[in-house]
Amino acid sequence: MNTEHLDTDEQRAFRLKAREWMAGRMPPRDPQEEPCDLGDGDQIAKDRRSQRILWDGGLAGITVPAAYGGQGLDKRFEDIFLEEAEPYRLPWVFGNAFNIVLPDLLAHGSEHLKTLYIPAMLRGEHMWCQLLSEPSGGSDLFGLLTRAEKRGDKWVINGSKVWTSGGHFCDYGICLARTDPAVPKHQGLTMFIVDMRAPGVTINPIQLVRGGSHFCQEFFDDVEIPEDHVVGEVNGGWTVAQTHLAQERISMARGWHIGLRTPAKAETIEVQTSYLDTARQLGLEKDRHARVLIGEAIAIDAVYAMTTARVGKGIRSGALPPTSGALSSLMAANTAVRRTALLSELVGPAGVAVLPGEEEPVIGMDRVCTHRIGGGTTEMQRNIISERHLELPREPSLDRNLPFNQLKHNSSAMAKS
């Protein structure tokens, strides 16, 4: 089902253009394939090519202003594009670039940075990572230790970032660093653009529990950054980070991979047939307990989709405050935890052990990996919801007014492993 019947003439023309351009050019969508595997160089190469195909067809950056290489159209055109793109794999490895860096640049970047980086991003030439978390801590983001000092007409960065998704495949990173340690922690930060191939940048991939390598640690030793590669104001990094984090939450709430679920499909309840298949394979289709577990899995999936849709609609119409994105984020995490618990209970030992060659015991590994840590832990989401949404008193903090260089930090901070 799509919304073709609602098209104006202009929208219809755009739809047909998109349909015709993508046919035969874009790679088909494979439901078995991970939407974004930042440890898979082939997938990244494929997505770079796809992004270029979209650019060549006038389908990149649909809502981005034409001055920066976009199409300058409204959200309706993006929805049309996504409906037409349903048979294809979209370049989802560019999530960081389009979900976060693009809005950061549009809101806070200088004209120079916008014209330098947005069109290249839309052409699929640059992959972006976000350099926020540090070994000393990610939740307390504004307590970060990486220093940037002005030397002549350059900024010089020293320190370490960690858990950087896709760091080893990225061309550029958006990086928050401390430019003034003599003021309270929120006030002395600046957002930079870092060339990941610049001299002095060392990138070490880190192996994840599932194997593969999805994120990295970076060390910066006297890395030089041009003076004009500051996003927003010097010492105004906190303001840029607010946009950054809000975009991250909104994107997570809406679904990080744009177009994985089309807008029209989000309006009806989708039941995962794999639950039913699993029950049949195990001969549990008549078992009451199994049916209760599966029914609950169906229900929580649907409630999550409905909640996300409701929160998105509420934020757009102003009925809900923008911080409500944290509600969807928290529900995403809680739903994932509950779903894996239900499925583990359903399949029992088959979820954790199989004969060689049989399918991977995915359910058990899902259970091992189901947490919400990236993009802010669930505790951080709960703090946002309780403090900004419910207006409950803020956590007492010892670090809000003291100059940063008088605060206690982790003893392990900055330790090079």
Partner 1 sequence: MDVGLTEDQIALQETTRRFLEEQSPIGALRRLADKDESFDPAVWRQGAELGWVGLFVPEDHGGFSEGFQGVVDAAIVAEELGRVVFSGPFHAVATVAFAVAQAGSDAQKAALLPALVSGDAIAAWCLSGTGAQSGVEPGGLAVTTRGDDHVIDGIAGYVQDAAIAQHLLVTARSDAGLSQFLIPTDTPGVTILPLELVDLGRRLAHVRFEDVVIGAEALVGEAGAAAAQVERQLQVAVALQCAETVGVVDRALEFTLDYVKQRYAFGRPIGGFQALKHRLADHVTQLEGAKAAAAYAAKAIQDESPDAAIAVSVAKSQCGKWGTEIVRDCLHMHGGIGMTWEHDIHFYLRRAVSNEALWGTPAAHHERLCALAGL
Residue number closest to ligand FAD, CB atom: 138
CB 91 within 8 A of CB 47: yes
Please tell me whether residue 6 adopts helix, strand or coil conformation: helix
CB 137 within 8 A of CB 377: no
Which option in partner 1, ligand FAD, none does residue 164 bind, with CB closer than 5 to 8 A by kind? ligand FAD
Report how far residue 155's alpha carbon sits from residue 28's, in angstroms, rounded to the nearest whole number: 44
Quick check: 137 binds ligand FAD (CB under 6 A)? yes
Quick check: 174 binds partner 1 (CB under 8 A)? no
Which option in ligand FAD, partner 1, none does residue 385 bind, with CB closer than 5 to 8 A by kind? partner 1
Please tell me whether residue 15 adopts helix, strand or coil conformation: helix
Q: How far is CA 148 from the centre of its chain?
A: 26
| Comparison of 151 and 286: residue with beta carbon closer to partner 1 | 286
Quick check: 373 binds partner 1 (CB under 8 A)? no
Q: What sign does the dihedral 216-38-266-273 (CA atoms) show?
A: negative
Quick check: 381 binds partner 1 (CB under 8 A)? yes
Residue of 27, 236, 374, 403 that binds ligand FAD (CB under 6 A): 374
Q: Which residue has the tokens 């192996």?
A: 207
Quick check: 380 binds partner 1 (CB under 8 A)? no
Report how far residue 113's alpha carbon sits from residue 101's, in angstroms, rounded to the nearest whole number: 12
Distances (CA, A) of 179 to 156, 299, 414: 10, 49, 17
| Window 330-349: contact mask with partner 1 (x via CB under 8 A) | xx--x---------------
**If you write DSSP's letter for every residue of 270-332 in order, what string do you get?**
---HHHHHHHHHTT-TT-HHHHHHHHHHHHHHHHHHHHHHHHHHHHHHTSS-GGGHHHHHHHH
| Comparison of 24 and 393: residue with beta carbon closer to partner 1 | 393
Which option in partner 1, ligand FAD, none does residue 377 bind, with CB closer than 5 to 8 A by kind? ligand FAD
Residue of 164, 278, 308, 381 that binds ligand FAD (CB under 6 A): 164
Greatest alpha-carbon pair distance for the chain in Å reads 75
Q: Which residue has the tokens 């202003």?
A: 65
| Window 287-326: contact mask with partner 1 (x via CB under 8 A) | -x--xxxxxx-xxx-xxx-xx-xxx-xx--x-xx---x--
Residues 54-93 that bind partner 1 (CB under 8 A): none
Q: Which residues bind ligand FAD (CB under 6 A)?
A: 129-133, 137-139, 163-165, 215, 373-374, 376-377, 379, 395
Q: Which residues bind partner 1 (CB under 8 A)?
A: 268-269, 271, 273, 276, 279-280, 285, 288, 291-296, 298-300, 302-304, 306-307, 309-311, 313-314, 317, 319-320, 324, 327, 330-331, 334, 379, 381-383, 385-387, 389-396
